[in-house]
């Protein structure tokens, strides 16, 4: 009887002990997980999965690089200063180009910053020795396969060349040429006329602005023949012509179309002239045909024969 009475007590005791052990195990697992997450594995114990490099498991190898190379491999302070100035002027020129993209003003707005970039690149690429008998050409331009400084400069130089800015800027990149300044002045006069009459009837605009627009076209044609056009002038003229023809619906007969019309008209009537001349020539030949003489009559021949006998 006493054993039966104490059996439930032992069962409850075992259940309580099991629940305490389980809760400690869960807490222990959670704390271990937190500890594992908080720990940063040391690079010296990382196994590198590389077919080239297989460090030993007990190796204490560290993959951290040195903070600097030996002095004989580093660029000089002079070259480092030139590189810094190049970066500043490169950014200045690019910051000038972006706002000048539309409408195109890359030549007239950015030639000064491009001149500064040319000057610093000339110092970098020069064969002359700088302070401390140091040349930066090899260390900054040809020391690696990428040649980043040369590549960056070549891209901007190609942009300048493709824009034909040399035709609008004087030698030495000091100022705009006289032809460019005169074109801009004529363009401003034409655009001022457009602004004056664009609110009213466009017929009045076409009539009153015809002379200034004609002068602008003639000036552009002369500059085109003389090869003194840059991208700024080309874009400005294209936009002005679009305003004149598309926005204001004005027409302006160009003088060079007159010979084209004359030649086209001549070619159109040429077949008619050809067939007409052929017809007249054939009629004239018919009139000049030589008819054979009529044969003498039979009686005349008989008389001649009688006289002979």
pLDDT at 29 over 70: no
Do 117 and 152 lie in one domain? The reply is yes
In this structure, is residue 247 part of a structural domain?
yes
Do 148 and 205 lie in one domain? The reply is no
Distance in angstroms (rounded) separating the CA atoms of residues 256 and 306: 87
In this structure, is residue 308 part of a structural domain?
no
Do 203 and 241 lie in one domain? The reply is yes
Tell me the residue range of the domain where 111 lies.
75-167
Do 273 and 183 lie in one domain? The reply is yes
Do 134 and 196 lie in one domain? The reply is no
User: Around 93, how many Cα atoms within 13 Å sit in the side-chain half-sphere?
Assistant: 24
In this structure, is residue 60 part of a structural domain?
no
In this structure, is residue 154 part of a structural domain?
yes
Instruction: Please answer whether residues 96 and 113 qualify as being in contact, where contact means their C-beta atoms are separated by less than 8 angstroms.
Output: yes
pLDDT at 25 over 50: no
pTM to 2 decimals?
0.62
Of the ranges 36-40, 49-53, 77-81, 161-165, the best mean pLDDT one: 161-165
In this structure, is residue 5 part of a structural domain?
no
Do 257 and 188 lie in one domain? The reply is yes
Compute the mean pLDDT over every residue in the chain, rounded to the nearest whole number.
77
Q: 6-17 burial string, b = 16+ CB within 10 Å, else e? A: eeeeeeeeeeee
Confidence category of residue 303, pLDDT binned at 50, 70, 90: low
Q: Mind listing the pLDDT tens digit for each residue in 114-171? A: 999 999 999 999 988 877 777 899 889 988 899 999 999 999 999 999 999 999 999 9
Number of domains in the chain: 2
């Amino acid at each position: 009887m006493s054993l039966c009475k104490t059996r439930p007590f032992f069962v409850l005791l075992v259940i309580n002990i099991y629940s305490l052990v389980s809760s400690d195990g869960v807490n222990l697992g959670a704390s271990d997980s937190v500890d594992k997450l908080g720990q940063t594995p040391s690079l010296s114990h990382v196994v590198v999965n590389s077919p080239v490099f297989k460090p030993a498991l007990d190796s204490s190898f560290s993959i951290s690089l040195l903070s600097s190379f030996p002095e004989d491999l580093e660029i000089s302070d002079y070259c480092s200063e030139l590189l810094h100035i190049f970066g500043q002027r490169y950014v200045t020129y690019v910051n000038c180009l972006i706002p000048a993209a539309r409408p195109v003003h890359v030549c007239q707005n950015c030639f000064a910053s491009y001149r500064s970039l040319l000057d610093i690149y000339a110092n970098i690429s020069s064969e002359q020795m700088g302070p401390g008998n140091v040349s930066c050409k090899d260390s900054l331009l040809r020391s690696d396969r990428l040649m980043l400084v040369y590549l960056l400069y070549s891209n901007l130089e190609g942009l300048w060349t493709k824009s034909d800015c040399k035709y609008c800027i004087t030698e030495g990149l000091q100022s705009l040429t006289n032809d460019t300044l005169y074109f801009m002045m004529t363009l401003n006069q034409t655009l001022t006329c457009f602004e004056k009459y664009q609110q009213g009837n466009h017929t009045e605009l076409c009539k009153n602005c015809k002379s200034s627009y004609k002068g602008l076209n003639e000036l552009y044609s002369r500059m085109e023949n003389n090869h003194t056009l840059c991208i700024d002038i080309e874009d400005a003229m294209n936009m002005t012509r679009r305003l004149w023809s598309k926005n204001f619906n004005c027409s302006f007969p160009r003088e060079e179309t007159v010979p084209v019309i004359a030649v086209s008209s001549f070619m159109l009537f040429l077949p008619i002239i050809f067939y007409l001349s052929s017809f007249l020539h054939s009629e004239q030949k018919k009139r000049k045909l030589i008819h054979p003489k009529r044969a003498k009559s039979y009686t005349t021949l008989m008389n001649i024969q009688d006289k002979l006998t």
